[in-house]
Chains A and B, each alone.
Chain A
């Protein structure tokens, strides 16, 4: 994969070198990089909060920080990671960069709107960061009422305002993607010729557009009640606290799929490219994304099994929660089957993809425990739940994000990254992750509640293990900064298609020109159209 190619004479990176040319760019590729810089900052802010949380929990008495500080730390960790890293992560960076390339388009349908999305995002982010820095808030990222409206003495309204603004960024991005996918596909690019990453972005965008307005309304009502004392959620004023939970989870459960669906799309790309095989059951994988997006809207009540919702509601939500796990299981089986008789390269992106399948499967099966009513009433709000969603969000989603980042890195920068260091980081992340979060399953089913600043000493051994894992994880997450930074300046030049992958994005130069393609490509073949080896195979050359 090391064809020593020279950099293309002109690329999107050479069109204007001023700061102004970046801040006013309408090029989806440059906007993707603006997002990349922003969410990387947020990732490390959220990560720093997580580090302090884990350090505090080494000691059962929680003597590192005060209870109030601890409560502000986990709120900050949740708010930053959910709204300012996980939700924007893959769509706004990798999605923004490769979606038009995959479609054979010049840009997204609305380039100016795309830039506006980024500005809304950083303004919302700045407002929320200010709220966190100016003393923070202690509501948890879930803002449950009446605690958030009457009892919390943090900057609730300010933080909520920032998230409210950022929501519009989500909606505009979703809208932009949907319209782009409908209208800007190259000639011959039928729906079943779309890469699976595009299908997953389409499903994600549908959720962004349909669910985010509900969050905006909910947060608006929350701020309204806190400021003006009109009874909406507070029973003392005639409101209903469960109404808040219904509204909040009507957004926030589909939001879980906003976070994971793009990761599933990336993994489909990686598995195909590094197995040199079409994805097994393409149509099933594509439609399972749409099924997840649709059924994902009907399961919010499983966050409220012990909150006082009716038995009948609990029954229906339990059944639907099992149902929503079916398309995820289908994906896992299809990815695994794709490996069969492939030509598998153990490059770093593939290591991340394989890690994703394993960790996502573990996060998925523990979701079944939580869907089963009898089990949920015991483990809800314990570390079991914390471990479950971190396996999906961090083990799954962050692994997919890193895998995609490495995979498209040569396309984005025109340079190769050092494979040895990248593999080492991937393996360390996998090990550190499991050491961090597996003990949390155990301590969770032993009964340790989440959001506890201090805990009974019998849980200490599991917490120490988890904190040890977190320190490995923290170091492993820092590694790419160094080797990718080195690659950016010194890395060997990548050719147009260093992985030998199919997909239109690999047919243009690396980095691509501002207009993406010299001439609009015409699509004549199905996706992942790798040739099947002959009956007596000669060993394939690497790359």
Chain B
């Protein structure tokens, strides 16, 4: 009966150290309090002969002492917990993107190569992974205990999480935000394989066009190519539309003076709420596609836009 979770991702080792440090500190404080209570309650039980004169009257020094000790200890824990959190959230530059859509009561998963699976996620060992999450209905939460990651999938926005599996095997995948009748059944497992086995698994799946290629088809079907160009090169003239090629991950100056990074959230909002962030120098003329594109199509389309950015040339 293991008392500690197996460490399945590169971050989970330091997580274990922080957890153990907290556990030891907590146990020390709680045991000290318990011991003092017991010792005092027995030694000074009514009727005992222990000396009771000489009550501590000058309490302020004690108050200052334990208040500052508490503050210092808490500050140290805050710094460690926050630092680790920030490092855990930071995806590697070339992380393998996995797109996941939650819906009552399943996880629908898409690999970059276009392979799809439900409730089971196959991953290669030692490769940094970035999971982009969306939800079709209510809030779900994507939780892999062995990797020490949890992130809610919130309808109406993208969220993401990052990890690097470093242990072979099968691990639990849970939904941890209550989502209705079959909440407890919404989950499955993550299977971490040797990279060559992962490649073999990918190849064994029913042949599908890559996500980017599927997205390119949607790009034309929804008419994006009409303004942004057949290959995302943009358009000048009467109807001006910014270029999409090479955009992903780059800073974008906006007409209101801000500069933001072109990430999934930006792509999503630009498709569904095109007037919220206008690129500097362009007019607010794009119509909203809100209600016309489903979550999965949206992710596929964005996978295409990302592929335009990565290679600087379309590779559908």
Contacts and interface: CB of A to CB of B under 8 A. Distances in A.
Interface stretch (B179-187, B209-217, B248-256): B179-187
A329 B66 contact: yes
Interface stretch (B118-126, B136-144, B225-233): B136-144
Interface string B26-51: 10011001101100110011111111
Interface residues of B, number: 84
Contacts of B67: 326, 330
B35 to A, nearest CB: 10
Interface string A58-87: 000010000110010000000000000000
Contacts, number: 265
Contacts of B221: none
A150 B179 CA distance: 12
B19 A445 contact: yes
Interface in A365-414: 365-366, 368-369, 371-378, 380-382
Interface in A302-322: 306-308, 311, 314-315, 318-319, 322
Contact of B150 (A277, A371, A377): A377
Nearest to B40: A339
A151 interface: yes
B74 A323 contact: yes
Contact of B184 (A62, A150, A152, A236): A62
B177 A144 contact: yes
Contact of A345 (B46, B86, B151): B46
Given A368-B26, A381-B143, A308 B154 contact: yes
Contact of A452 (B4, B29, B85, B183): B183
A318 B26 contact: no
Contacts of A319: 78
A67 B180 CA distance: 9
A101 B156 CA distance: 55
B63 A314 contact: no
B240 to A, nearest CB: 28
B37 A358 contact: yes
Contact of B139 (A147, A315, A336, A354): A147
Contacts of B46: 276, 343-346, 540, 542
A378 B142 CA distance: 11
B185 to A, nearest CB: 7
Interface string A528-543: 0000111101011010
B41 to A, nearest CB: 5
Interface in A90-147: 138-140, 144, 146-147
Given A71-B181, A147-B138, A336-B36, A378 B148 contact: yes
A377 B81 CA distance: 10
A537 B180 CA distance: 65
Nearest to A328: B70
A190 interface: no
A449 interface: yes
Interface string B1-42: 111110000000001001100100110011001101100110
Given A339-B41, A343-B44, A449-B175, A533 B53 contact: yes
Contacts of A375: 15, 18-19, 22, 81
Given A311-B89, A374-B18, A453 B184 contact: yes
Nearest to A454: B184
B159 interface: yes
B235 interface: no
Contact of B37 (A152, A318, A336): A336
B5 A241 contact: no
A496 B157 CA distance: 64
23 contacts: A67-B182, A140-B178, A144-B178, A236-B156, A281-B59, A308-B154, A325-B74, A330-B66, A336-B40, A343-B52, A344-B41, A346-B45, A369-B26, A372-B22, A372-B77, A372-B81, A374-B15, A374-B81, A375-B22, A378-B150, A380-B150, A381-B143, A535-B54
Interface of A: 62, 67-68, 71, 138-140, 144, 146-147, 150-152, 235-236, 240-242, 275-277, 280-281, 284, 306-308, 311, 314-315, 318-319, 322-323, 325-326, 329-330, 332-334, 336-337, 339-346, 354, 357-358, 361-362, 365-366, 368-369, 371-378, 380-382, 442, 445-447, 449-456, 461, 532-535, 537, 539-540, 542
